[in-house]
Homo-oligomer: A and B are copies of this chain.
């Protein structure tokens, strides 16, 4: 795979069959079709497609293997067995035309990538059985960034000016640090995330939009120009073939890809119920970090973020450094040096702090008087005054003591 969109012609024959089979399977099955994914895992994509289309009969051994893969991955719905799946897939068989779909992508300057391709994001393997069969891909052809350099910024479509400004700042800042920003290409937070990353981006894949429908269409249409820019500088990707509608079900499944691509999913603004929370839960379920941005308790658009913080699943983040740290790309002075704002008396013992309190600011005081006021023995007062003097916090004026002029 060297030339833009030329995999099909340059693939080895076996690779080409695998690619065509996955292209067909991605049209036959809805995303996250557990039985179908188990079938591919058990029989491989090429034979899996033959079984799915009735060209090959599944042996009892295979049915058994699919069933146990489903059990292993926690699928317990009785309707998901292979027999039910075959009935489910049958009506779509006449529509299969993988060569046509691949040609469509090529015409659009895109391609389809499958596990093993250099562009394939290896972090998707963490989805286990639910790893997508393939990704339909428009955009830049470079090596996919490692998970530690990828951050998902997600949130409501109806963002507030607060959400817009925070998202823009974060995306720009992450771009400046060489991170890739993943989002869903929607209005609101998603759009601000892509825009900020395009503006601030410093690596060769500043931002990625993961679509719920086919990537032949830039959806929603109001974001067409933005998504075109994302494809030109980064990538617009999706797991369903060209021409597929972005249904609600596909939106929910799409969210698992956003979560799995990134080391951390940051929810910037979300209502009490929001698709962004679904992305956060996907992230949590595969052990990725989830972060939420706090906001006013009077803003309904932050209620979902506060819910995530309250339920304990999310880390509270307030700046890019904290996000980068969470993503594991720290160690480069990413966390701001807030601790250095410590005031002068931070290192003092309790006794010295009491003594400091007792020291007059304008007049002076004797050791004996200080012992009464501070409730310390005269020896302790003398020793403490010595330490405070060394720290520049106390000063002796003809045998009596006062605070030094130093602010604290």
Contacts and interface: CB of A to CB of B under 8 A. Distances in A.
A84 B247 CA distance: 76
A297 B309 contact: no
A267 B315 CA distance: 18
A92 B272 contact: no
A18 interface: no
B30 A354 contact: yes
B342 A273 contact: yes
Interface string A300-319: 00110110011000011111
Interface string A90-131: 111001000000000000000000000000000000000000
Interface string A338-379: 100111000001110110111000000000100110111111
Contacts of A295: 294-297
Given A91-B368, A293-B297, A247 B375 contact: no
A350 B88 CA distance: 13
A362 to B, nearest CB: 15
Given A91-B378, A375-B88, A380-B79, A249 B296 contact: no
A306 B296 contact: no
B87 A377 contact: yes
A318 to B, nearest CB: 4
A162 interface: yes
A2 interface: no
A23 interface: no
A84 B377 contact: yes
A349 B77 contact: yes
B248 A296 contact: no
A371 B94 CA distance: 12
B294 A309 contact: yes
Nearest to A86: B377
A141 to B, nearest CB: 30
A318 B306 contact: yes
A297 B354 contact: no
Interface string A378-391: 11100000000000
B294 A249 contact: no
A322 interface: yes
Given A28-B375, A89-B377, A295-B295, 17 more contacts: A29-B375, A30-B375, A87-B377, A88-B377, A89-B375, A91-B368, A91-B377, A92-B375, A248-B353, A249-B350, A249-B357, A272-B338, A294-B295, A295-B296, A297-B318, A306-B318, A310-B322
Interface of A: 28-30, 32-33, 77, 79, 84, 87-92, 95, 162, 166, 247-250, 252, 272-273, 293-298, 302-303, 305-306, 309-310, 315-319, 322, 338, 341-343, 349-351, 353-354, 356-358, 368, 371-372, 374-380
